[in-house]
Structure 1
Amino acid sequence: MKKYILAMVGLVSVSMISCEKFLEEKPYDFIGVANFYKTEGDANAALNGAFSSLQPQTYFGRTSWLVTELSGDLMRVNAALADRDNLYGQTFDASNGEIGNWWNSNYNLINRANDVIKNVPNVPMDVARRNNIVGNATFLRAMAYFDLVRSFGSVPLILNPTTDLSNLKPARTPIPAIYAQIIGDLKYAEANCFAENLIPANAKGRVSTGAASALLAKVYLTKASIPAAKEASDYTNSLAASNKVINSGLYALGAYADVFDVTKENNRDHIFSIQFDLPPNVGNIVVRMHLPAGLNGTGSFVVEKSFEDSFLPLDIRKALTLRKETPTSQFAYYSKFADPLRQTNNARNNVLITRYADVLLLQSEALNEINPADANKLTGINAVRFRANLPNLLLANVATKDAFIDALVQERAWEFSAEGHRRFDLLRLGRYKARQLAAFNRTVADKYLLFPIPLTETDLNPNLLPNNPGF
């Protein structure tokens, strides 16, 4: 069982619900910073509050994969709603509600993480455990800023909780400075979070040093794709980070079906996941939204036909990823997320932020950028393909940088569809416009390569203007 706690630390009061695993119950009333942060239990409760902010449907409970997958090329809207239709059709603007949710939820997480980072270092407790708590918070802050900068570009960099009222209308921060903060936070997490094998069983879901290294590998690759932020060392830094994870021996590829089995969560395939469970805990709506109405779902989304047709005959992932309600159904639905114990909207499926397969493919991506002629770039991608029952790629067929990127774009589609990666994968690998054209015969304007800053934010804070070009 996985249970959760909600802690509004740094505000007027703290509200909590029951918890298990690493989220332990501790009731408080009328608590502020001055009379909180006294014990190790307080420090853990504050961190639990940061983790709990990941779960709402306006964040990783739903919005995260709406904004990242509907604006890609693998999923289509099946139940019309304007915000979703506009993401899918590349017609979104600053009034889009899901984009607004994405902005607000990331900053809510940042505020809670800032509270932990500022106050926990003063708590008298074991130094290693204290640094681990702060490392978890710096990881969460880095993850939020990484999602913000690759979604919106330049955004305000806020490093103090909202109890600091000195700057209520912050300006946007240059992209290189945001990446520098992300990398600094992740390096702290990498150095101070516990290794995966040292995290107690009742604390699964906390950040490991391997999770920090894995996210660093992707951050460096993404940074290298942005001319304003790129540095010559980005690819070698990414490779070093992915190698730390691979060489740790703590992670491995198991059976592909086990990746999504709710009875086998937090296994060696899973590097960092957001935890969900059945009521009275926070459940995940993802299963119901993908299931068709005939299977007690909402049928909100279906598989893009071009993606369904792209699978190679031997690939075992197709049968585990999608299926059709009836043999004559026009579209398949995503079946990789399932929970036989689901209660309407609530399922046990964790949201998988980083998997070991992701790190293997990031290693291959970095090696291809460093030297396209290096046959070692095939090691990671071929390990992922072997698990899927596909033959190895041969260097002769992907010898050029662009040929290998095309293969990687396809492999990442088969491996990670509907998991919240697609928009960012296509942008990082330089294939966003090409895939929109191929899948939809649609030419995408440059302005849609970034989301607009939400209108609700620019109305309150004119220092966020001008908005991103075209909005």
Structure 2
Amino acid sequence: MKTKYLLSLIAILVVMASCKRYLDVKPTDFTTPETYYNTEKELDQALTGVYSALNNRGTFSRNLVYEFAHGSDEGFYKRSAEAVNPRVYNHDASNALVAETWSALYAGINNANLLLANIDHPQMDEKVRGRIRGEALFLRAFLYFQLVHLWGDVPLILTPTLSGENVNNPRTPQKVIYDQILSDMTTAEGLVGNIKDFGFPGRVSKTAVQGILARVCLKMAGEPLKEVSKFTEAKEWADKVIKSGTHKLASGYAQIFINHTQDLYDIDENIWEVEFTGNGLTDPTKTGGWFAKKFSVRNTSSELYGYGEIGATATLYLKYDDIHDVRKNRNIATYYFRTNGSTMLSDTLQYAPTAIYARETGKWRIQDETSTQRSPDFGPTNFPLLRYSDVLLMFAEAENEVNGPTQVALDAINLVRARAKARNFISADAPSKEALRRIIQDERSRELCYEGLRKFDLVRWGIFMDVMKDVEADILSNAPSNMQYSAYGYTNVKVRNLLLPIPSIELSLNNSMRQNPGF
């Protein structure tokens, strides 16, 4: 949300409410539901509290796009010292990051439940009330979408949790949760506003709902539910976004990610994004986000501090099948920072063309920040939850699964490739549905790498373990000796890592909860 929405967080009932267990959130603030939710302004402030679940460190500030999204065949943990971490698949149910994300998602859901339970209290314009209801319904469903694809069966709670009376919450079957997600999102689609009415992508809009519904349906069509009829629905939802005429591809690929860092809004390409403001140095209410610093090329100077903790795989590097494809040199850094003894400088040196195992990610870059005072940990870079190019590729995938291979699907892919200055695919490249499926799978990686989608895609396609072991074999066979350590996570990964473990603290407090297999 924009700064004016972020500042209102201090007035919200339960955003930072203290809790001893994650599915039993008891507010401790001075405000209660009986004295809140009585005006349109208070409802809108409460909605901001629901949005705040998105820029939490446990969600899209860090964990959902950094800790749990890698490693994959796009990125690996670029540290030679062994660590216990989800990125290298040696974590267990006691891992603090797992508990942090579980807690953050359920806290956001409880905020949404409180708002929805009290939304009819004030006298107000019914259209505004409907818009707030729609955004809250969608956000609750979106948070459940994160839970269910990360943990599988989880407790489905649709009413506010205000006391310790209901402490045993059994796991709800995934099918039931997905049906609820579809119901809430479909209702929301008819209530929320149009992105052009408010002019920035930080708020849920009609096309954002439609695009995320396409993503949900593609997941349901794949593993583990395999409801293949959902491919048709995915195609229909993606087609609604396309036919709305609201969005189009930005002319320059690199500029998309520069805009994320410089608080420049492009609602043509960016349909929905999580907004981060500032870096906490000059204004404590503008704390920024973590993820961009973790992805940035390593530099330990105060001006350009980046952790460089995610390395780009040679697997991704070699996926760029056209030497003219501009995405490769944006997504995978061509450079590293020069050092003078132990001091890292601001000028760069270029990697040799053969150095394809040591590179870091380059999609978001510290150099693009406009602030003259930069934090080593936090930055203003917004995170994209849905871009128009993703919608085009989801449409192509669903079209291929329903009717493929077709020219319609190829046309959608080629729009994305034309912007990247890569050659068009022709029908001879995709003589079968299987061949076009492989093209789409690779194209999603080329276009959307590091945007928190790749592991999700590999799992729903049912190819996660095979792909991970292929990357391991490539590193052990072809990487130089000083990069052999990068196979660590690919060696560790097991079938159990298709899901995260239920946090130990939740198991200890919830007698109805059962652990995921393998943990």
Same fold, TM-score > 0.5, yes or no: yes
1:73 and 1:87 mapped to 2: Cα distance?
A: 15
Distance in 1, Cα, partners of 2:30 & 2:397: 50
Quick check: 1:66–1:98 contact (8 Å CA) kept in 2? no
1:50-89 mapped onto 2 (5 Å cutoff): 50-79=50-79, 86-89=85-88
Q: Secondary structure at the match of 1:111?
A: helix
The C-alpha deviation readout for 1:87-112, integer Å capped at 9, x for no partner, is 33333322222222222211111111
Q: For structure 1, which segment, 342-351 or 161-170, has the greater mean C-alpha deviation from structure 2 after superposition?
A: 161-170
Distance in 2 between residues matched to 1:164 and 1:394, nearest whole Å: 60
Aligned to 2:236: 240
Amino acid paired to 2:369: P
In the alignment, structure 1 residue 209 sits paired with structure 2 residue 186: no
Assess, with a 3 A threshold, how the Cα gap between structure 1 residues 8 and 113 changes in structure 2: closer, same or farther.
farther
The answer as to whether partners of 2:15 and 2:107 remain within 8 angstroms in 1 is no
- Please name the residue that 1:309 is paired with: 318
The 1:387–1:161 alpha-carbon spacing in structure 2 relative to 1, beyond 3 Å, is same
- Tell me the secondary structure at the aligned position of residue 407 of structure 2: coil
Match of 2:292 among 271, 278, 287: 287
Q: Which amino acid aligns with 2:324?
A: L
SS in 2 for 1:363: helix
**Cα distance between partner residues in 2 of 1:337 and 1:105:** 25
What secondary structure does 1:33 align onto? coil
Q: Retained in 1: the 8 A contact 2:117–2:159? A: yes
Provide the secondary structure at the position in 2 that maps to 1:462: coil
1:300 — aligned with what?
A: 309
In the TM superposition, what are the counterparts of 1:161-176 in structure 2 within 5 Å?
161-163=160-162, 165-176=164-175
Report Cα offsets for 1:24-59 as digits up to 9, x if no partner: xxxxx8211101111100000100111123212222
Match of 1:407 in 2: 439
Q: Could you tell me how far 1:204 is from its partner in structure 2? A: 4.8
Residue of structure 1 equivalent to 2:389: 357
User: SS at the partner of 1:354?
Assistant: strand
Q: Would you say the 8 A contact 1:276–1:350 is kept in 2?
A: yes
Give the secondary-structure state (helix, strand or coil) at the position aligned to 1:376: helix
Contact 1:13 1:31 in 2 (8 A): no
Task: Assess, with a 3 A threshold, how the Cα gap between structure 1 residues 50 and 8 changes in structure 2: closer, same or farther.
Answer: farther
* Residues 375-432 of structure 1, C-alpha deviations (whole Å, 9 max, x = no match): 2121221111111111111223223232222212211111111111111011122221
Amino acid at match of 1:224: A
Question: Does structure 1 residue 135 correspond to structure 2 residue 162?
Answer: no
Q: Which moved more, 1:320-329 or 1:167-176?
A: 320-329
Q: Map of 1:411-426 to 2, 5 A cutoff?
A: 411-426=443-458
Change (3 A) 1:68 1:417: farther
- Aligned residue for 1:129, secondary structure, equals helix
Deviates more, 1:98-107 or 1:238-247: 98-107
The one of 370, 380, 394 equivalent to 2:402 is: 370
Cα deviation for residue 346 of structure 1 reads 2.8
After superposition, the C-alpha distances for 1:267-313 in whole angstroms (9 at most, x for unaligned) are 31111111111142131223322231254222322222332333231
1:250 is aligned to 2:246: yes
| Structure-2 separation of matches of 1:386 and 1:41 | 45
Cα 1:90–1:282, aligned 2, differ >3 Å: closer, same or farther? Answer: same
Kindly tell me: are residues 80 and 116 of structure 1, through their superposed partners in 2, closer, same or farther at Cα, counting changes over 3 Å? farther
CA distance in 2, matches of 1:276, 1:405: 35
Change (3 A) 1:70 1:434: same
Larger deviation, residues 181-190 vs 162-171: 162-171
User: Which amino acid is the alignment partner of residue 291 of structure 1?
Assistant: V
Cα distance 1:56–1:81, how it changes in 2: closer, same or farther (>3 A)?
Answer: farther
C-alpha distance 219-124 of structure 1, shift in aligned 2 (>3 A): same
Q: Is the 8 A contact 2:151 2:499 kept in 1?
A: yes
Asked whether the equivalents of residues 190 and 209 of structure 1 are also in contact (C-alpha less than 8 Å), the reply is yes
Deviation string for 1:115-146 (max 9, x for gaps)?
A: 11111133211111111111111111111111
Q: Say whether residues 1:382 and 2:414 are aligned partners.
A: yes
**Are the counterparts in 2 of residues 265 and 350 from structure 1 also a CA contact under 8 Å?**
no
- Paired residue for 1:119? 118
Which residue of the partner structure matches residue 335 of structure 1?
A: 362
In structure 2, distance between residues paired with 1:395 and 1:213: 29
* Matching of residues 8-47 of structure 1 within 5 Å: 9-11=12-14, 30-47=30-47
The separation in 2 between residues aligned to 1:166 and 1:101, in whole angstroms, is 23
AA at the equivalent of 1:301? I
Gaps of 5+ in 2: 19-28, 337-348, 474-489
- Confirm whether residue 446 of structure 1 aligns to residue 495 of structure 2: yes
Distance in 2, matches of 1:438 and 1:14, equals 45
Aligned length, in residue pairs = 453
* Counterpart secondary structure, 2:320: coil
Question: Given that residues 9 and 115 in structure 1 are in contact (C-alpha distance below 8 angstroms), is that contact kept between their aligned partners in structure 2?
Answer: no
User: Residues 80, 188 of structure 1: CA spacing in aligned structure 2 closer, same or farther, 3 A cutoff?
Assistant: farther
**In 2 relative to 1, CA 59–269 (structure 1 residues): closer, same or farther, beyond 3 Å?**
same
Q: Secondary structure, in 3 states, of the residue corresponding to 1:437?
A: helix
The answer on whether the counterparts of 1:111 and 1:160 sit within 8 Å (CA) in structure 2 is: yes
What is the alpha-carbon distance in structure 2 between the residues aligned to residue 164 and residue 120 of structure 1?
20
1:189-204 aligned at under 5 Å gives the runs: 189-199=188-198, 201=199, 204=201
How far 1:12 sits from its partner (Å)? Answer: 11
* C-alpha distance 403-99 of structure 1, shift in aligned 2 (>3 A): farther
Whose radius of gyration is greater, 1 or 2?
2
Contact 2:201–2:271 at 8 Å: present in 1 too? no
Most deviating of 232-241 and 162-171: 162-171
